[in-house]
């Protein structure tokens, strides 16, 4: 097996360079090492079995009897991409799926099992919801993974034939962006500038209301305002984030600083006004979209798992392009509070959406039945719309590429985990129990001659952080410049004791509430521990939260014919209580439960 050359995103220029997944090895047992192992042993086989069971792999053999929605091909491509990036040997599965996909390609390069045959809609007849370019985008990303890992011979050629077909017929924009970022990466692999030009055309064409009008409006499709004129991400969250990632890729490869600045502006706005504490994006269920500024109700949080994955994709691209390490903060937040939350302990069920407040107990769902899209409640084995499961699988498989970057002067550590790193002229052994413990020891195992710079991201939440015992500023990059020699150790300390977090008062839905965070972990209370109605809980925020508890009272609100009155209930008379906290990513793992992240504060 040849060496993996590089990861999913390899810009030709930028402040930081991506590292090969092979140059970052998660070691031993740790938060992410365990989840990557689970990906190989649980998530990937589970996803593959369900894609077979649903008939979606069979669609490639027998497209005339297509089953499932119009985007099911994309799940097979994402699974293929995940198999390529993963460390374990999946050669048998890769071989089978690659042959299946190649066989289904038409002579003209078109590839799609849901359109163009007797009884199906014609090719390109439904730009809003046909998802044809969307699916091909995922095929291309799988082809890129195949080319860079050498694990799926022939798949890049299939992807190129499909991309050539797209360039030749130029079918207009797709209701669901995704192909933009894929085409730029295909350009990076092949050097064929037509793919970059096509991606740039797709980005520039959007926003001029050329898609057919739909009840969700043009905003849903990001066809309301040109990318370079928009002020915020908006509309369907996953579509918006994929498009923004593609726009960054185009901007970087064409030197379009105006376009890059536009995406930076929109993402900054979105982080400041449209993002949940967990890093989740999207507060509207009806159209899976962003809400207006500060519309972030915890009990109606949509926060699709895919939007989390897509935000990591976008933030990583911006990190590489700009060198602003603060993008690592949102990556960390999503990894621990969206991605980790999505996956069941055995890797065989997952969350599609992520509420921050479950008012009625979750219910068990049968392990042998696909759920109809997202319906709330617990992790489910599979959904009829199953974008999230293979998306998590491909992210976990390629995760090492998101943890570390390099530059001419040295190496940058953006995320902290026990790992061996070789990049930027340094070989490092990073050892930590993070996030259970905030101590990170970085030992130099080998160093090139001369001064090197080891850059460490200090999260914005990390008040009291130190490097080698000296205080450092949260929300910055600490640069340790040294003539490193073997045996040098740099010690980072990040305080992970629980702390109160208060919302911007403009987030009306949680005004007067606090949350607890511990290091990168958002905490929550779960009814299994509290054993009382969590909607009656009010907490005493006058002193710091305990190691794993908050103090408060369970009020006894009055039921009445009308829920509004001149005098509110005074919870000061409620029963004093001490309520255990659990990391949000652990919730709904022990059985049906209610849960809340934001806790109303007792009046003083
Ligand atoms: Zn999804």
Report how many helices (DSSP H) and strands (DSSP E) the chain contains, helices first: 18, 22
Query: Looking at residues 38-62, what average pLDDT do you find?
Result: 98
**Band of the pLDDT at 571, cuts 50, 70, 90?**
low
Distance CA 262, CA 92 (A): 44
**Residue 268, class by beta-carbon neighbours within 10 Å (0-12 exposed, 13-18 middle, 19+ buried)?**
middle
108-122 core/surface letters (b: 16 or more CB in 10 A; e: else): ebbbbbbbbeeebee
pLDDT at 340 over 60: yes
386 alpha carbon to ligand 1 midpoint, in Å? 6
Confidence at residue 495, expressed as pLDDT on a 0 to 100 scale = 97
Residue 29, Cα to own-chain centre: how many angstroms?
22
CA gap 213, 373 in Å, rounded: 24
Query: How high is the mean pLDDT of the chain?
Result: 95
Residue showing tokens 């005074």: 570
Q: Where are the alpha helices (DSSP H) in 376-487?
A: 388-397, 400-403
pLDDT in tens, 142-199: 999 999 999 999 999 999 999 999 999 999 999 999 999 999 999 999 999 999 999 9
The whole-number pLDDT of residue 4 equals: 65
pLDDT tens per residue, range 428-475: 999 999 999 999 999 999 999 999 999 999 999 999 999 999 999 999
How far apart (Å, rounded) are the C-alpha atoms in residues 345 and 542?
Answer: 36
**pLDDT on residue 459:** 98
**pLDDT of 5 over the 70 cut:** no
- Selection from 7, 25, 48, 84 nearest residue 347 by Cα: 48
- Mean pLDDT is lowest, of 88-92, 249-253, 553-557, for 553-557
For residue 393, give the nearest of 81, 28, 107, 168 by alpha carbon.
81
Distance 591 CA to ligand 1 centre (A): 24
Q: Compute, in angstroms, the gap from residue 590 CA to the centroid of ligand 1.
A: 24
Beta strands in 414-504 (DSSP E): 419-423, 426-432, 439-447, 452-458, 466-467, 470-471, 476-482, 489-493, 498-501
**How far is ligand 1, taken at its centre, from the CA of residue 392, in Å?**
9
Q: What Cα–Cα distance (Å) separates residue 95 from each residue in 102, 151, 504?
A: 11, 9, 51
Tell me, in angstroms, the distance from the centre of ligand 1 to residue 433's CA. Answer: 30
User: Among 155, 338, 171, 163, which Cα is nearest to 238's?
Assistant: 338
Query: Measured in angstroms, how far is the CA atom of residue 393 from the centroid of ligand 1?
Result: 12
Q: In angstroms, what is the span from residue 485 Cα to ligand 1's centroid?
A: 46
Report the relative pairing of strands 452-458 and 410-413 from DSSP bridges: parallel
Q: What is the pLDDT of residue 1?
A: 44
Residues 180, 107: Cα–Cα separation, whole Å = 24
307 CA distance to ligand 1 middle (Å): 7
In this predicted structure, the answer to whether residue 377 has a pLDDT above a threshold of 80 is no
Buried b / exposed e along 201-217 (16+ C-beta atoms within 10 A): bbbbebbeeebeeeebe
**CA–CA dist 73, 66 (Å, integer):** 10
pLDDT at residue 364, rounded to an integer: 77
């Amino acid at each position: 097996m040849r060496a993996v050359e590089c990861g999913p995103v390899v810009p030709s220029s930028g402040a930081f360079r991506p590292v090969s997944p092979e140059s970052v090895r998660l070691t031993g047992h740790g938060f992410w090492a365990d989840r990557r192992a689970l990906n190989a042993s649980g998530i990937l086989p589970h996803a593959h079995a369900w894609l077979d069971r649903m008939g979606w792999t069979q669609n490639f053999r027998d497209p005339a009897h297509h089953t499932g929605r119009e985007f099911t091909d994309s799940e097979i491509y994402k699974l293929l991409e995940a198999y390529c990036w993963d460390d374990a040997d999946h050669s048998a599965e890769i071989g089978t799926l690659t042959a299946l996909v190649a066989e289904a390609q038409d002579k003209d390069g078109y590839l799609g099992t849901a359109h163009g045959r007797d009884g199906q809609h014609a090719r390109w007849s439904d730009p809003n919801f046909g998802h044809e370019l969307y699916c091909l985008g995922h095929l291309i990303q799988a082809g890129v993974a195949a080319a860079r890992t050498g694990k799926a011979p022939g798949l890049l050629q299939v992807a190129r034939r499909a991309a050539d077909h797209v360039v030749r017929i130029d079918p207009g924009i797709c209701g669901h962006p995704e192909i933009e970022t894929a085409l730029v990466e295909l350009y990076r692999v092949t050097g064929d500038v037509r793919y970059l030009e096509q991606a740039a055309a797709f980005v520039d064409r959007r926003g001029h209301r050329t898609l057919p009008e739909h009840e969700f409006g043009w905003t849903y499709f990001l066809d309301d305002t040109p990318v370079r004129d928009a002020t915020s991400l908006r509309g369907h969250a996953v579509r918006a984030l994929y498009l923004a990632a593609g726009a960054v890729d185009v901007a970087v490869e064409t030197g379009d600083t105006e376009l890059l600045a536009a995406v930076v502006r929109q993402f900054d706005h979105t982080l400041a006004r449209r993002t949940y504490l967990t890093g989740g994006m999207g507060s509207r269920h009806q159209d899976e979209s962003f809400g207006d500024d500060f519309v972030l109700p915890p009990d109606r949080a949509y926060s699709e798992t895919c939007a989390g994955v897509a935000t990591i994709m976008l933030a990583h691209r911006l990190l590489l392009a700009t060198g602003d390490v603060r993008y690592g903060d949102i990556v960390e937040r999503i990894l621990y509070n969206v991605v980790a939350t999505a996956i069941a302990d055995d890797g065989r069920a997952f969350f599609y959406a992520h509420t921050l407040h479950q008012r009625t107990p979750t219910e068990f769902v049968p392990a042998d039945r696909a759920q109809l899209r997202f319906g709330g409640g617990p992790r489910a084995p599979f959904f009829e719309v199953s974008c999230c499961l293979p998306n998590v699988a491909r992210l976990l498989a390629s995760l090492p590429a998101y943890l570390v970057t390099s530059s001419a002067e040295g190496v940058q550590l953006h995320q902290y985990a026990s790992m061996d790193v070789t990049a930027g002229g340094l070989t490092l052994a990073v050892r930590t129990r993070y996030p259970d413990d905030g101590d990170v020891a970085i030992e130099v195992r080998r160093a090139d001659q001369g001064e090197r710079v080891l850059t460490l991201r200090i999260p914005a939440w990390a008040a009291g952080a130190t490097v080698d015992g000296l205080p450092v500023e949260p929300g910055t990059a600490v640069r340790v410049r040294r003539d490193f020699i073997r045996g040098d150790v740099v010690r980072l300390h990040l305080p992970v004791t629980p702390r109160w977090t208060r919302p911007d008062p403009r987030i009306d839905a949680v005004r007067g509430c606090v949350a607890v965070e511990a290091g990168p972990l958002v905490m929550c209370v779960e009814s299994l521990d509290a054993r009382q109605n969590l909607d009656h809980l009010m907490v005493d925020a006058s002193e710091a939260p305990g190691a794993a508890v908050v103090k408060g009272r369970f009020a006894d609100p009055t039921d009445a014919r009308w829920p509004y009155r001149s005098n509110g209930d005074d919870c000061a008379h409620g029963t004093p209580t001490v309520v255990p906290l659990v990391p949000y990513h652990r919730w709904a793992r022990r059985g049906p439960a209610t849960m809340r992240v934001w806790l109303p504060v007792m009046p003083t």
